[in-house]
Amino acid sequence: METRSSIGDDQITCIRDEYKEFEKLIQEVDDCMEEDEIDAAEVIEEYELLEQKTSLEKVEMLKKRRMELEAARLAKRSKSSEVVAPNKSTHEDSSSDDGNFAVDWRAQHL
């Protein structure tokens, strides 16, 4: 019977050793999975930062475009009001120019 009991103890020791080896393998897998999760989180964070940067650039571009359009509208409005104003003053100036020309013409005959 002692032989059976010593074989049983050897088997139990072998099973314990195998179980410890199995736990080590599980720990290695857990460590690898944790590293993969960390790597994935870093990739996701980089992607989100890139997406934020792209979105901010688009917003800035749209703000700039909006300001350019507003400036163009203001310039167009001011040009149209300048076109109206110079016509009036040009017309008035041409009347006075006609008067000056008449005075100059008379002066030439003297």
Higher per-residue pLDDT: 109 or 37: 37
Q: How far apart are CA 82 and CA 76, in angstroms?
A: 10
Question: What confidence category does residue 100 fall into, taking pLDDT thresholds of 50, 70 and 90?
Answer: low
- pTM to 2 decimal places: 0.47
Q: How far apart are CA 39 and CA 47, in angstroms?
A: 12
Q: How far apart are CA 78 and CA 76, in angstroms?
A: 6
Q: Residue 78's pLDDT is what?
A: 86
Q: Where are the domains of the chain?
A: 1-83
Q: How far apart are CA 71 and CA 3, in angstroms?
A: 101
Give the model confidence (pLDDT) of 15-69 as tens digits: 999 999 999 999 999 999 999 999 999 999 999 999 999 999 999 999 999 999 9
Q: Residue 80's pLDDT is what?
A: 79
Phi, psi of 33 (to 5 degrees): -65, -40
Question: What confidence category does residue 1 fall into, taking pLDDT thresholds of 50, 70 and 90?
Answer: very low
Evaluate if residue 88 carries a pLDDT over 60.
Answer: no
